[in-house]
Chain A
Amino acid sequence: MLVAYALQQLINGVTLGMIYGLIAVGYTMVYGIIGMINFAHGDIFMVGSFLSLIAILGLTALGISSVPLILVLTLVFAAGLAGLCGWTVERIAYRPLRGSFRLAPLISAIGMSIVLENFVQVSQGARVKPMPQMIPGGVHLLERNGFQVQLSWMQMAIVVTTLALLAAFTWLVTRTPLGRAMRACEQDLKMAGLLGIDTDRTISLTFVIGAALAAVAGLMFLLYYGVIDFYIGFIAGVKAFTAAVLGGVGSLPGAVLGGLAIGLIETFWSAYFSVQYKDVAAFSILVLVLIFMPSGLLGRADVEKV
């Protein structure tokens, strides 16, 4: 029973961690390049989740019955529109403030987060949106004393999709001209600009890619929990940011590792201690990591130049 229960929590935790990891990638990339916390990123995740819901309902209404087809189309639709949303947010709220004093982009980001949250609330209603399960069933791994350990197809789909996306993204960052430009901007924005990199375009694309990944996480969240509302972005955003910090801001593998750690800690905390205080657990980890290990698990130590 004990082992089986723990194994089940491990599976659930990894699934949750994958979702956090995907959101955390967006935080870590943006922070790496322009050194700001994109406060609205959690809300982009929420917007992606709503776009997915709309797409699934719309495609079903159009008479498409194949579940894989619906999911693939939804993923493309949500990722594309969320990417557009990320581009718009950067263009409106952050680009005019580049080079402004430090607090300005953060306040602007908080404003954008409030706008997105309330835009969805106004346009889609404040009610919780339930969704029937789309991928039922799974594999029974083992059974002990009547407790079944189940790995659902849904969880498998989430883990596989996340890993595939991260692999594609890693390829993008390490092997393509865009990735090279992104890494150059991360090292030194001004120097990259002097060497002929279109920094504005690179930053825009970073936002688009981050938003698209967050939208995929939103789709997974919708499918996994089957219920969303306009407020999910705030808590998920803070937790994903915690994941990014835990893994070391600026590091891609770190973001995924941090996401996994946060997902596991939250799941085990809920399973063995208290569900009500699971957010306290995640926030406390954030505080502890920043105090004792500010550069995270895989991050570089921040050297201060005077």
Chain B
Amino acid sequence: MSPPARPRHRSILADAGLSALVAFGLFGAMIGLKTDAGATSLILTPRPLAVAIAVAVVFVGRLAMLGWRAARPAGTPTPKRLGAVMARGGRVVAPVFLVLAITLPCYAGRYYLDLGILILTYVMLGWGLNIVVGLAGLLDLGYVAFYAVGAYSYALLAQYFGLGFWSCLPLAGLFAACWGILLGFPVLRLRGDYLAIVTLAFGEIIRVVILNWVSLTGGPNGISGIPRPTLFGLTFTAGGGEGSFADFVGIEPDITQRFIFLYYVILGLALLTNWVSLRLRRLPLGRAWEALREDEVACRSLGINVTVTKLTAFAIGAMFAGFAGAFFATRQAFISPESFTFIESAMVLAIVVLGGLGSQLGTALAALVMIGGGEMFRDLAEYRMLIFGGALVVMMVLRPRGLVSGRKPSVSLGPARQIPVELLTEGHG
């Protein structure tokens, strides 16, 4: 179009060439020379083609990115309003999703039911963590520890005392909440990144203890044969028979029935989490959380008991993780420390942040995108986590505020107005 277009093209080419050079530096050795086990020691296998492909991908990708940027006329507004649209559309979208979720067993097969159970587990974890991170603004990187406490509480209670799922569920939540308070106490004074690292350390400590306390937890072998949940004493065994749900209702026993039952259990638990946190937000406690997130010093000066406020956030968040953990144990019928690594915490935190901190609908959508999307890449096996990590970075760079990024006050005098992203600042929490 304009005269300086030519040199611009040249600079784009030069930039892409430079990127390719950097890519060659990064990939040349790591991809190009693979260490393999040889006869006596390791040997190197050269893979020049793979390097060429990787470098070419970077070159073309960078070229396309710069070209797109250059081709777009200056002053084109970026679609920043998506967040506001999402927040407004939530009124319509949320009920639709709810209806779809409730009616899922009517039209979905076993595979999708199982996937639905998995997604809902993460939705529940996300909503639980949302209380700690999204509402109270306390960055928790060890959330999976409470999930583990819940799962092991149920597994151990069932193994040693023969208790059932429904009596263990509140106990698992209670234990997890106690751990939440226990871990919350020492970290009250910490904020921000330090808090994140300490909670991460706590999560790892709990995992290492579970891994090494072989006499109680079975160590790396885990606990198997965890009993399945029952519906008022009716079981969901594949074979049917006396005392089973199929026998009681008088239908053909089918394994799908158990999936449907589990699906409704987790749906109920997730909705309970959602309902409780929505109600809590309107209580003085919830308002104190949100105030704490915005400014801790102001909170103190207004006479809010910061200690109690933080501890309740930890405890309630942990309680829901405990419920989810107990459910996880009964769904899998087998648990081992491998299920409770740091990557799970990162996954749940990513769901909360991608959803937009504090947004209930956003969290659910993010869980759907991340877990459902992750399932689509299942065939790629080892590339899956690579894509997950890359997606985290890209998401943060493009939309650091998440899907639903505006914020609406939970309680307000007069009509509540959406607060635009630009005005939001995070406190120290």
Contacts and interface: CB of A to CB of B under 8 A. Distances in A.
- Report whether chain A binds chain B: yes
Interface of A: 35-37, 47, 50-51, 53-55, 57-58, 61, 77, 81, 84-85, 88, 92-93, 96-97, 100-108, 110-127, 129-132, 234, 238, 241-242, 245, 276-277, 279-280, 283-284, 286-287, 290-291, 294, 304, 306
29 contacts: A37-B193, A51-B30, A53-B42, A58-B33, A61-B43, A61-B44, A77-B29, A93-B396, A93-B397, A104-B400, A107-B353, A110-B350, A111-B350, A111-B388, A113-B389, A114-B343, A114-B385, A118-B383, A123-B27, A123-B30, A123-B31, A241-B197, A276-B211, A277-B208, A287-B186, A287-B198, A290-B197, A291-B190, A294-B194
Interface stretch (B118-126, B173-181, B199-207): B199-207
Contact of A120 (B30, B193, B201, B400): B30
Interface string B209-247: 101100000000000000000000000000000000000
B124 to A, nearest CB: 21
A290 B190 contact: yes
Contacts of A47: 30
> Top 6 closest A-B pairs, CB basis?
A111-B392, A114-B389, A115-B389, A104-B400, A283-B201, A118-B386
A113 B30 CA distance: 16
B34 interface: yes
B78 interface: no
Interface in B79-133: 133
A97 B400 contact: yes
Chain B's interface size range is: 35 or more
Nearest to B44: A57
Interface string B14-57: 00000000100111011101111100011110000000000000
A51 B28 CA distance: 10
Interface in B356-406: 357, 382-383, 385-386, 388-393, 395-397, 400-401
Contacts of B190: 290-291, 294
Given A50-B30, A130-B42, A294 B189 contact: yes
Nearest to B389: A114
Interface string B393-429: 1011100110000000000000000000000111010
Nearest to A100: B400
B192 interface: yes
A279 B204 contact: yes
B158 interface: no
Nearest to A115: B389
A81 B44 contact: no
Contacts of A111: 350, 388-393, 395-396
B202 A287 contact: yes
Contacts of B276: none
A266 B156 CA distance: 31
B316 interface: no
A53 to B, nearest CB: 6
B22 A129 contact: no
Given A97-B396, A111-B393, 17 more contacts: A61-B43, A93-B393, A93-B397, A101-B401, A106-B139, A106-B193, A108-B397, A111-B392, A111-B396, A115-B390, A116-B389, A122-B383, A126-B382, A130-B42, A131-B42, A132-B41, A306-B297
A291 B26 CA distance: 40
Contacts of B353: 103-104, 107
Nearest to B54: A123
Given A81-B26, A102-B192, A104-B400, A124 B34 contact: yes
Contacts of B201: 238, 242, 283-284, 286-287
Determine chain B's interface SS by DSSP, over half rule. helix
Contact of A37 (B22, B27, B196, B208): B196
B30 A291 contact: no
Contacts of B193: 35-37, 106
A115 to B, nearest CB: 4
A251 B358 CA distance: 36
Contacts of A106: 139, 193, 196
A290 B22 CA distance: 39
Q: Which of B35, B200, B395, B400 has most A Cβ within 10 Å?
A: B35
B342 interface: yes
A129 B43 CA distance: 11
A279 B139 CA distance: 22
A77 B33 CA distance: 14
B288 interface: no
Contacts of B428: 304
Nearest to B385: A118
B386 A115 contact: yes
Contacts of A84: 22, 25-26
A129 B343 CA distance: 23
A295 to B, nearest CB: 11
Given A88-B26, A110-B346, A122-B382, A57 B390 contact: no
B187 interface: yes
B349 interface: yes
Contact of A279 (B192, B208, B390): B208
A158 B29 CA distance: 25
A122 B386 contact: yes
Contacts of A107: 349-350, 353, 392, 396
A290 to B, nearest CB: 5
Given A97-B396, A284-B205, A118 B382 contact: yes
B37 to A, nearest CB: 7
Contacts of B212: 276-277
B389 A112 contact: yes
Nearest to B29: A54
Given A84-B22, A102-B192, A103-B353, A57 B343 contact: no
B42 A57 contact: yes
Given A57-B43, A111-B392, A290-B194, A97 B397 contact: yes
Nearest to B50: A123
A87 B41 CA distance: 33
Contact of B205 (A88, A97, A120, A283): A283
A122 B385 CA distance: 10
Interface in B152-190: 186-187, 189-190
Nearest to B183: A287
A125 B31 CA distance: 11
Contacts of A119: 30, 386
Contacts of B208: 276-277, 279-280, 283
A289 B182 CA distance: 17
Contacts of A77: 29
Contacts of A120: 30
